[in-house]
């Protein structure tokens, strides 16, 4: 089955700096990779996702890159702000055409942005 | 769009009793709903996948007789924790996948269960 590793587990940056979170996956058939942001006591919110036919996707200060050969994908946050502080989860999903797979989550990264 | 609600948000029950948690997709139809369990400062652990009108698929190690899942309609799935024990105390979160979508999942706000 799929296994997703996420690093680092905690990340502290100064406001305005960039933050990078990396994930690796084991199942080469996985084809969908979302990133979720979870604030304390709240639901995970989808912030960006990428599919296996794309190498990079950007949405304002957030970008995700995917390297299918190496089976890793990364979240990049630029110009970080204190409100970016949260736990970020990566996930990978395999699609079985006609029978849809499940999201497998990484262990999460607690990002702290210091003013 | 794509709002998922859960009820209740918090519940305290005594050992041995059962508690039901509801998950609703408010503005879309969901063929598939997922139930997760999350321990403090930990990741989301998939418990089961629920498809409308059919039996849920449980992950390895999850007792299907203890965690009863019903997905009676395209907008409602329920999780019943039967004969609850203190070790069942946790944060339970559901998510829903929209009909016609193969990818995006939207999460509910979660239910904090405390078993005394």
Count CB-CB contacts under 10 A for residue A93.
Answer: 23
Higher pLDDT, A113 or B50: A113
Q: Give the tens place of pLDDT for each residue, B11-20.
A: 999 999 999 9
On whether any CB of chain A is under 8 Å from the CB of B42, the answer is yes
DSSP state, residue A106: -
Q: Could you give the angle at the alpha carbon of B43 between the alpha carbons of B60 and B34, nearest 5°? A: 55
Sign of CA dihedral B88, A2, A49, B52: negative
Smallest Cα distance from B62 to chain A, Å: 16
Q: Do B109 and A42 touch (CB under 8 A)?
A: yes
* Confidence bin at A37 (pLDDT 50/70/90): very high
Chain A residues closer than 8 Å to B46 by CB: 102-105
What is the pLDDT, as a whole number, of residue A101?
A: 72
- Closest Cβ–Cβ partner in A43, A49, A110 for B103: A49
Query: Distance between CA B94 and CA B70 in Å, rounded?
Result: 13
pLDDT at A95 (0 to 100): 64
Instruction: Give tens-digit pLDDT for B80-108.
Output: 999 999 999 999 999 998 877 667 889 99
**Residue A14 has which token pair?**
């100064």
Task: Mark which residues 45-104 of A lie under 8 Å from B by CB.
Answer: 45-46, 49, 51, 89, 93, 95, 100, 102-104
User: Is there a contact between A54 and A67 (Cβ–Cβ < 8 Å)?
Assistant: no
Question: Mean pLDDT, to the nearest integer, of A52-76?
Answer: 95
B54-72 average pLDDT score:
90
Structure tokens of A34? 């979302």
What gap in Å lies between CA B106 and CA A84, rounded to an integer? 20
Cβ contact, residue pair B97, A100, below 8 Å: yes
Contact with chain A for residue B105, Cβ under 8 A: yes
Residue B75: per-residue pLDDT: 93
Assign 3-state DSSP to chain B and report helix, strand, coil percentages, each to 5: 5, 55, 40
Res. A98: pLDDT tops 70: no
pLDDT for residue A3: 87
> CB contact, 8 Å: B108 with chain A?
yes
Mean pLDDT of A14-27: 97
Separation between Cα atoms, residue B100 and residue B86, nearest integer Å: 39
**Mean of the pLDDT values across residues A50-55?**
90
Cβ proximity of A84 and A77 under 8 Å: yes
Distance CA A108, CA A111 (A): 9
For chain B positions 83-102, those within 8 Å of chain A (CB to CB) are 93, 97, 102
pLDDT at A92: 93
Closest C-alpha to A104, from A22, A38, A30: A30
Higher pLDDT, A48 or B53: A48
Q: Has residue A97 got a pLDDT over 60?
A: no
- What long-range pairs does B71-77 form, CB within 8 A, spacing at least 24? B71/B33, B74/B25, B74/B29, B74/B30, B74/B31, B74/B99, B75/B24, B75/B25, B75/B26, B75/B29, B75/B30, B76/B22, B76/B23, B76/B24, B76/B25, B77/B22, B77/B23, B77/B30, B77/B33, B77/B35, B77/B50
Closest CA to A20 of A37, A8, A4: A8
Q: Which of A45, A49, A108 sits opposite B43 (nearest CB)?
A: A108
**Left, alpha or beta for B109 (phi > 0: left; psi -120 to 50: alpha)?**
alpha
Q: Measured between beta carbons, which residues in chain B are less than 8 angstroms from residue A45?
A: 107
């Amino acid at each position: 089955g799929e296994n997703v590793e996420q690093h680092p587990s905690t990340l502290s940056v100064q406001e305005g700096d960039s933050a990078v979170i990396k994930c690796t996956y084991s199942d080469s058939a996985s084809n969908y990779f979302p990133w979720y942001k979870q604030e304390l006591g709240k639901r995970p919110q989808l912030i960006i996702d990428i599919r296996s036919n794309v190498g990079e996707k950007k949405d304002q200060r957030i970008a995700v890159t995917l390297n299918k050969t190496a089976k890793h994908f990364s979240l990049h946050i630029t110009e970080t702000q204190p409100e970016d502080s949260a736990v970020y989860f990566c996930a990978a999903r395999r699609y079985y055409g006609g029978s849809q797979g499940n999201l497998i989550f990484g262990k999460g990264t607690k990002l702290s942005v210091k003013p | 769009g794509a709002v998922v609600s859960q009820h209740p948000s918090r519940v305290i029950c005594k050992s041995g009793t059962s508690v039901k948690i509801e998950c609703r997709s408010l503005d879309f139809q969901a063929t598939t709903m997922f139930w997760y369990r999350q321990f403090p400062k930990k990741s989301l652990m998939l418990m089961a996948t629920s498809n409308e009108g059919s039996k849920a698929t449980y992950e390895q190690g999850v007792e299907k007789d203890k965690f009863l899942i019903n997905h009676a309609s395209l907008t409602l799935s329920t999780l019943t924790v039967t004969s609850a024990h203190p070790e069942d105390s946790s944060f339970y979160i559901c998510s829903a996948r929209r009909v016609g979508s193969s990818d995006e999942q939207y999460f509910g706000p979660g239910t904090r269960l405390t078993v005394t």
